């Protein structure tokens, strides 16, 4: 059928490429995010949720796959991308979505109201938890989980907020094995959320 | 005879390739070629526009941009600091060297639409880019899910 040697070689090459492409789409069992040298314990802090109630991070997220991200609403560039990527994984894996807690903390309490934070998160998934607090409470929360504190630059209404660009993931066993800097690919999220969800506490 | 035919075929293929490359690049050497224009569906008061521009035979500078669907348009750049925090700062313009590229992408440079209207995924909006040398150019931006602003995923 494939008399020509070159044709056969080409077909073989195509088959190899297709196989390689398929393999990269499946979960490898290994984390593809930025793996920490030493797994970190989950920090403890209390902030206010979008209902106005106190939210004790460590106890509310106990035994759950937890994703924690600090950002602000006027950030149109990187904040929505992280959250939209996580929401997309949840759309495809409803089992993950049911068990996981996604916690977004606004570090811009002077501009972002609780209602606006709720509206912002509803763009992605209404199950996402939104928190904020006073500047002091936010500083304590960031210190508790080991991210550099957000800093405000500029004056009046025209200011921007420097903030940690990565998402911290905690497995259900309460430890963070990996973080997700900006630029994490959709395939990496899909892989890692499944790997982390399987790390149950004993 | 066989050789002649195959040579002709090769020449034909080569010219087809050149033609398609010229078509892909716009074939216009007097203004930037702007492609992959996209805007993340707004999740707050602002939204970001990304694109890839290919330079032509002279240096140019993108000096301003405007659209009917936002109050104003600013040029911003997100950079990552040594401690991993990310900073967003305004820039006066974006330069596009002759024959070079200007890439606007998440986590880097973008046009920020300030006070943007409600936009739905799949909508298109017109954005007018004003270049110092090439003048005004109106491009169509597709509204995409923020997860898809990164390009391949």
Give the residue ranges of chain A where pLDDT is below 70: 1-28, 201-202
Euclidean distance between CA atoms B26 and A9, whole angstroms: 36
Euclidean distance between CA atoms A131 and A53, whole angstroms: 10
Read off the pLDDT of residues B91-112 as tens digits, 9 standing for 90 and up: 999 999 999 999 999 989 999 9
Euclidean distance between CA atoms B77 and B87, whole angstroms: 8
Read off the pLDDT of residues A135-152 as tens digits, 9 standing for 90 and up: 999 999 999 999 998 988
- pLDDT (0 to 100) of residue B13: 58
| Nearest chain A Cα distance for residue B113, angstroms | 9
- pLDDT (0 to 100) of residue A20: 45
- Minimal Cβ distance to A162: which of B86, B107, B147: B86
| Nearest chain A Cα distance for residue B27, angstroms | 32
CA atoms within 13 A on the CB side of B57: 4
**CB contact, 8 Å: A162 with chain B?**
yes
Euclidean distance between CA atoms B25 and A116, whole angstroms: 43
Give the mutation candidate from B42, B44, B71, B82 for the A interface (greatest A CB count, under 10 A). B44
Read off the pLDDT of residues A10-35 as tens digits, 9 standing for 90 and up: 555 444 444 444 444 445 689 999 99
Helix (H, G, I), strand (E, B) or coil at A60: helix
pTM over 0.90: no
Q: Does residue B11 carry a pLDDT above 70? A: no
- pLDDT (0 to 100) of residue B88: 86
Read off the pLDDT of residues B125-142 as tens digits, 9 standing for 90 and up: 999 999 999 999 999 999
Q: What are the percentages of helix, strand and coil residues in chain A, rounded to 5?
A: 35, 25, 35
- pLDDT (0 to 100) of residue A21: 43
- pLDDT (0 to 100) of residue B44: 87
ipTM of this predicted structure? 0.71
Which tops the pLDDT comparison, B31 or B153? B31
pLDDT above 90 covers a percentage of chain A that reads 67
What mean pLDDT comes out for the span B71-77? 95
């Amino acid at each position: 059928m494939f008399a020509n040697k070159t044709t056969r070689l080409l077909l073989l090459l195509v088959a190899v490429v297709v196989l390689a492409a398929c393999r990269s789409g499946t979960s490898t069992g290994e984390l593809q995010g930025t793996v920490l040298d030493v797994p970190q314990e989950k920090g403890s802090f209390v902030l206010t949720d979008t209902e106005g109630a106190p939210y004790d991070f460590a106890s509310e997220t106990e035994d759950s796959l937890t994703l924690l991200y600090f950002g602000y609403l006027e950030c149109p560039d990187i904040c929505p991308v992280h959250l939209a990527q996580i929401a997309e994984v949840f759309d495809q894996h409803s089992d993950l979505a049911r068990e996981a807690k996604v916690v977004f903390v606004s570090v811009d309490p002077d501009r972002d109201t609780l209602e606006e934070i709720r509206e912002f998160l509803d763009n992605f998934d209404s199950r996402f938890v939104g928190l904020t607090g006073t500047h002091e409470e936010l500083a304590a929360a960031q210190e508790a989980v080991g991210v550099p504190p957000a800093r405000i630059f500029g004056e009046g209404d025209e200011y921007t907020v420097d903030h940690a660009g990565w998402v911290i993931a905690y497995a259900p066993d309460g430890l963070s094995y990996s973080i997700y800097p900006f630029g994490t690919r959709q395939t990496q999220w899909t892989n890692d959320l499944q790997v982390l969800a399987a790390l149950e506490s004993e | 005879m066989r050789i002649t035919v195959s040579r002709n075929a090769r020449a034909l293929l080569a010219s087809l390739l050149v033609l398609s490359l010229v078509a892909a690049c716009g074939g216009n050497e007097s203004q930037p070629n702007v492609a992959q224009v996209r805007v993340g569906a707004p999740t707050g008061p602002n939204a970001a526009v990304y694109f890839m521009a290919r330079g032509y035979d002279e240096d140019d500078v993108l000096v301003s941009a405007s659209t009917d669907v936002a109050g104003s348009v600013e040029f911003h750049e997100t950079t990552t600091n040594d401690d991993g925090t990310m900073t967003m700062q305004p820039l006066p313009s974006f330069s596009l060297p002759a024959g070079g590229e200007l890439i606007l992408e998440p986590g880097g440079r973008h046009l920020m639409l300030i006070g943007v209207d409600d936009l739905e995924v799949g909508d298109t909006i017109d954005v007018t880019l004003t270049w110092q040398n090439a003048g005004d150019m109106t491009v169509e931006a597709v509204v995409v899910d923020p997860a898809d602003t990164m390009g391949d995923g």
